[in-house]
Amino acid sequence: MQLDAKIPGGQLAEKWDRYRFELKLVNPANKRKFEVIVVGSGLAGGSASASLAELGYNVKTFCIQDSPRRAHSIAAQGGINAAKNYTNEGDSIWRLFYDTIKGGDFRAREANVYRLAQVSNNIIDQCVAQGVPFARDYGGLLANRSFGGAQVQRTFYARGQTGQQLLLGAYSALMRQVGTGKVKMFSRREMLDVVVINGQARGIVTRNLITGEIETHSGDAVVLCTGGYGNVYFLSTNAMASNVTAAFRAYKKGAYFANPCFTQIHPTCIPVHGDYQSKLTLMSESLRNDGRVWVPKNQGDKRRPHQILESERDYYLENKYPSFGNLVPRDVASRNAKEQCDMGKGVSETGLAVYLDFEDAIKRDGKDAIEKKYGNLFQMYEKITAENPYETPMMIYPAIHYAMGGLWVDYNLMSTIDGLFVLGEANFSDHGANRLGASALMQGLADGYFVLPYTIGGYLAGTPLEEVTTGHSAFKESVTSVNNHVEKLLSIKGKRTVDDFHKQLGHIMWDYCGMARNNERMKKAKGMIQQLRAEFWENVLIPGSGKDFNQSLERAGHVADFLEFGELLLIDALSRQESCGGHFNEAYQTEENEALRDDENFCHVSAWEFAGKDKEPVLNKEELKFENVELTQRSYK
Ligand SMILES: Cc1cc2nc3c(=O)[nH]c(=O)nc-3n(C[C@H](O)[C@H](O)[C@H](O)COP(=O)(O)OP(=O)(O)OC[C@H]3O[C@@H](n4cnc5c(N)ncnc54)[C@H](O)[C@@H]3O)c2cc1C
pLDDT at residue 194, rounded to an integer = 98
What is the identity of the amino acid at 456?
I
**Distance of alpha carbon 403 from the chain centroid:** 4
CA terminus-to-terminus distance, the chain: 41
CA of residue 143 to ligand 1 center, whole Å = 24
Summarize pLDDT for 39-72 with one digit per residue, the tens. Answer: 999 999 999 999 999 999 999 999 999 999 999 9
Q: How confident is the model at residue 592 (pLDDT cuts 50, 70, 90)?
A: confident
Nearest ligand 1 atom, CA 249: 41
Sign of CA dihedral 424, 146, 366, 359: positive
Reading phi first (left if > 0) and then psi (alpha if -120 to 50, else beta), residue 131 is in: left
31-40, 267-276, 450-459, range with the lowest pLDDT: 267-276
Pocket test for ligand 1, best of 73, 204, 430, 551 (most atoms within 8 A of CB): 73
Kindly state the average pLDDT of the residues 194-223: 98
pLDDT at residue 117, rounded to an integer = 98
CA of residue 442 to ligand 1 center, whole Å = 12
CB-based pocket (< 6 A), ligand 1: 39-45, 62-65, 71-73, 75-80, 162-163, 189-191, 225-228, 237-238, 242-243, 245-246, 282, 284, 401-402, 424-426, 438-441, 444
Nearest to 551 by CA among 240, 238, 206, 276: 240
Nearest ligand 1 atom, CA 243: 38
Q: How confident is the model at residue 429 (pLDDT cuts 50, 70, 90)?
A: confident
Instruction: Read off φ and ψ for residue 217, nearest 5 degrees.
Output: -140, 130
- Indicate the DSSP class of residue 255: P
- Is the pLDDT at 1 greater than 80, yes or no? no
Burial 294-318 (b: 16+ CB within 10 A, else e): bbbeeeeeeeeeeebeeeebbbbbe
What's the per-residue H, E or C state across 583-637?
A: ECECCCECCCCCECCCHHHHCEEEEEECCCCCCCCEEEEEECCCCCCCCCCCCCC
Task: Confirm whether 20 is a catalytic residue.
Answer: no
Strand partners, 356: 293, 394
Kindly state the average pLDDT of the residues 512-536: 97
Question: Which helix (H) or strand (E) segment is 221 a member of?
Answer: strand 221-224
- Indicate the DSSP class of residue 436: P
d(CA 416, CA 511): 33
d(CA 114, CA 128): 23
Nearest ligand 1 atom, CA 226: 34
Contact in structure between 442 and 43 (CB atoms under 8 Å):
no
CA of residue 229 to ligand 1 center, whole Å = 10
pTM: 0.97
pLDDT at residue 444, rounded to an integer = 98
Nearest ligand 1 atom, CA 281: 1
Strand partners, 589: 595
Summarize pLDDT for 254-297 with one digit per residue, the tens. Answer: 999 999 999 999 999 999 988 888 899 999 988 999 999 999 99
Sheet holding 257-258, edge to edge: 406-407, 257-258, 604-609, 618-623
pLDDT at residue 123, rounded to an integer = 98
What's the per-residue H, E or C state across 340-407?
A: HHHCCCCCCCCCCCEEEECHHHHHHHCHHHHHHHHHHHHHHHHHHHCCCCCCCCEEEEEEEEEECCEE
d(CA 32, CA 332): 49
Kindly state the average pLDDT of the residues 415-444: 97
User: Which of the residues 330, 335, 555, 597 is marked catalytic?
Assistant: 330
**Mean pLDDT, all residues of the chain:** 96
Kindly state the average pLDDT of the residues 164-174: 98
pLDDT at residue 275, rounded to an integer = 84
pLDDT at residue 160, rounded to an integer = 87
Question: Which helix (H) or strand (E) segment is 50 a member of?
Answer: helix 43-55
Nearest to 535 by CA among 571, 491, 501: 501
Pocket test for ligand 1, best of 229, 441, 452, 559 (most atoms within 8 A of CB): 441
CA of residue 245 to ligand 1 center, whole Å = 14
CA of residue 536 to ligand 1 center, whole Å = 28
Q: What angle do CA 48, 155, 266 make, to 5 degrees?
A: 85
Kindly state the average pLDDT of the residues 416-445: 97
Sign of CA dihedral 423, 255, 627, 101: positive
d(CA 214, CA 208): 6
Kindly state the average pLDDT of the residues 489-506: 98
